[in-house]
Chain A
């Protein structure tokens, strides 16, 4: 189940196959009807817009992802500090006991 481009002879139309999320497909159908385009013409216009604004959309996605990752990062960091603190404390307590044993 992969989206792909299938090329024939050079210069001849190519076949585009895509697997879209249901919501993206519904927006595609709306776009076709609203703009009264053939599906092929609609796909061409959509692809052109996608390529022209690629970095803008990547930036927008990154900003949204940043907030999610930040929350996850804080949680992972907090757990990391706690688990490491337990490890270090065990080492510290072992040292105290060793010294106490040596004393006597």
Chain B
């Protein structure tokens, strides 16, 4: 067996990004170790067919099967998990998960597009409120969460949605 680490990727800390792409990058950036072994033809063929059936590429599927095969769950725990997986609630959970992932992606893309225009939208909002005030229509001016936003809040949104990471300093009002 040959062992070869990747020191270039050994940054020693997990990136804490909220978005889906960030999570994938964090997985990719972990240090990897290379193993090379011979296995019986029948096993290799079973693995190949198994991954093909699931539509998983060997590059992703082999480490995944090894990871699953090495997991520390006891037989009792696996049995409990099996009962849970076969319940009606679990069936619903798969569906909810798929829908939520899709909706989260949709929101992410929509928010990104809106944040690109946030500066203009906010400027326009303030201008419109000022015009209402000048016309003596103060009663029609709504009080909004964004009335007190400054550049740091816009920057925080920008970092979150356009650059895909947290702002450099925690001075923004964005939660």
Contacts and interface: CB of A to CB of B under 8 A. Distances in A.
Interface residues of B, number: 80
A44 B99 CA distance: 36
B interface secondary structure, majority:
helix
Interface of B: 1, 3, 5-6, 18-20, 23, 30-41, 43-48, 50, 54, 58-71, 73, 78, 81-82, 84-85, 90, 93-94, 96-97, 100-101, 103-104, 107-108, 110-111, 114-115, 118, 121-122, 124-125, 128-129, 131-132, 135, 137, 140, 142, 144-146, 157
B122 A16 contact: no
B78 A16 contact: no
A18 B18 contact: no
Contact of A12 (B41, B90, B146): B41
A46 B104 CA distance: 35
Interface residues of A, number: 69
A interface secondary structure, majority:
helix
Interface in A14-50: 14-22, 24-25, 27-28, 31, 39-40, 43-50
